[in-house]
């Protein structure tokens, strides 16, 4: 019987790959046979985690890149293509959050959040899509958020960026379906990552209390683990989702049900 989760021979590019959801996704896709290219600014963690994947029998490499810098993105994608000759999966996952209202938010923080999250996804897709098309197609998975579908408090830039990601996903699915490129979005709820813990610090809430409060109101009564989100990315990357494009899959323990 064919294993529709098998990614052997596939090349996956994952931004924000050194920690959190990106790292869990890199680990999982490597376990299913993909060669994973982990793109991040954190060179120390990225190199260490890529080496750990290789030591466990997977194939992984780290690429230091600022996804908001067009030349760095172009050069990084070109380097991956030179090495592998193809890119089959792109997980646009990099992003940052600033927990402030529109009144309190500084312009530089608005620019940072929108650039890292939305511009980064645009630039990576700009250079990866032609390679995918040349290779006969592929799968792009963007990391949105439950707050890309509904609003959240003191996170106006983050909500704007993630709302943009959700609708960008739909637009790209329409544009690139004819090239056999599927574009989908996974929308996590609060997930135990360095990003979430940093939110607690920004709001000046004790870490354990913040993590506990993040589970309130969820029917499954817990916050997410990075592997929960990685499982959804694997679905979109695999042949289990060959007729799915333009979708936004909420993975949040029922938080916005």
Q: What is the 3-state secondary structure (H, E, C) of the chain?
A: CCCCCCCCCCEEEEECCCCHHHHHHHHHHHHCCCEEEEEECCHHHHHHHHHHHHHCCCEEEEEECCCCCHHHHHHHHHHHHHHHCCCCEEEECCCCCCCCCCCCCCHHHHHHHHHHHHHHHHHHHHHHHHHHHHCCCEEEEEECCHHHCCCCCCCHHHHHHHHHHHHHHHHHHHHHHHHCEEEEEEEECCECCHHHHHHHHHCCCCHHHHHHHCCCCCCCCCCECHHHHHHHHHHHHCHHHCCCCCCEEEECCCCCC
Provide the pLDDT for residue 92: 98
Q: What is the pLDDT of residues 102-156, one digit of tens each?
A: 999 999 999 999 999 999 999 999 999 999 999 999 999 999 999 999 999 999 9
* Contacts of 48 by beta carbon, 8 Å cutoff, 6+ apart: none
The phi-psi region of residue 64 (left if phi > 0; otherwise alpha if psi is between -120 and 50; otherwise beta) is beta
Furthest C-alpha separation in the chain: 58
Q: Distance between CA 111 and CA 231 in Å, rounded?
A: 31
- Listed as ranges, residues in the chain with pLDDT below 50 are none
Residue ranges covered by each domain of the chain = 11-251
Q: Which residues are catalytic?
A: 158
Q: Taken in order 43, 168, 6, 83, is the CA torsion positive or negative?
A: negative
Using DSSP bridges, classify how beta strands 248-251 and 138-143 pair: parallel, antiparallel or unpaired: unpaired
What is the pLDDT at residue 93? Answer: 98
Residue 182's CB is within 10 A of a number of other CB atoms, namely: 24
Angle between helices 43-55 and 20-31 (to 10 degrees): 20
Task: Report the chain's terminal Cα–Cα distance, integer Å.
Answer: 36
Task: Determine the pLDDT at residue 1.
Answer: 84
- Out of 3.40.1440.60, 1.10.3720.10, 3.40.50.720, 3.40.718.10, the CATH code matching 11-251 is 3.40.50.720
Cα angle: 165, vertex 143, 171; to 5 degrees: 35
């Amino acid at each position: 019987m064919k294993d529709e989760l098998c990614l052997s021979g596939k090349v996956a590019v994952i931004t924000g790959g050194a920690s959190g959801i990106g790292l869990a996704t890199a680990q999982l896709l490597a376990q299913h046979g993909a060669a994973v290219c982990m793109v991040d600014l954190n060179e120390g963690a990225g190199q260490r985690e890529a080496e750990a994947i290789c030591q466990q029998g997977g194939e992984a490499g780290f690429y230091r890149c600022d996804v908001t810098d067009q030349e760095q993105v172009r050069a990084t994608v070109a380097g991956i293509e030179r090495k592998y000759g193809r890119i089959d999966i792109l997980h646009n996952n990099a992003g940052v959050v600033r927990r402030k209202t529109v009144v309190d938010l500084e312009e530089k923080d608005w620019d940072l959040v929108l650039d890292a999250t939305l511009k980064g996804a645009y630039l990576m897709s700009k250079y990866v899509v032609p390679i995918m098309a040349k290779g006969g197609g592929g799968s792009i998975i963007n990391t949105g958020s439950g707050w890309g579908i509904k609003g959240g408090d003191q996170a106006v830039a983050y909500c704007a960026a993630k709302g943009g990601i959700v609708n960008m996903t739909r637009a790209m699915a329409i544009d690139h379906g004819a090239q056999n490129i599927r574009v989908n979005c996974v929308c996590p709820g609060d997930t135990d990552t360095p990003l979430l813990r940093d939110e607690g610090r920004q709001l000046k809430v004790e870490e354990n209390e913040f993590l506990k409060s993040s589970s309130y109101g969820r029917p499954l009564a817990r916050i997410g683990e990075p592997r929960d989100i990685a499982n959804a990315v694997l679905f979109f990357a695999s042949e289990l989702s060959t007729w799915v494009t333009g979708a936004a899959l909420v993975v949040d323990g029922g938080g916005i049900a």
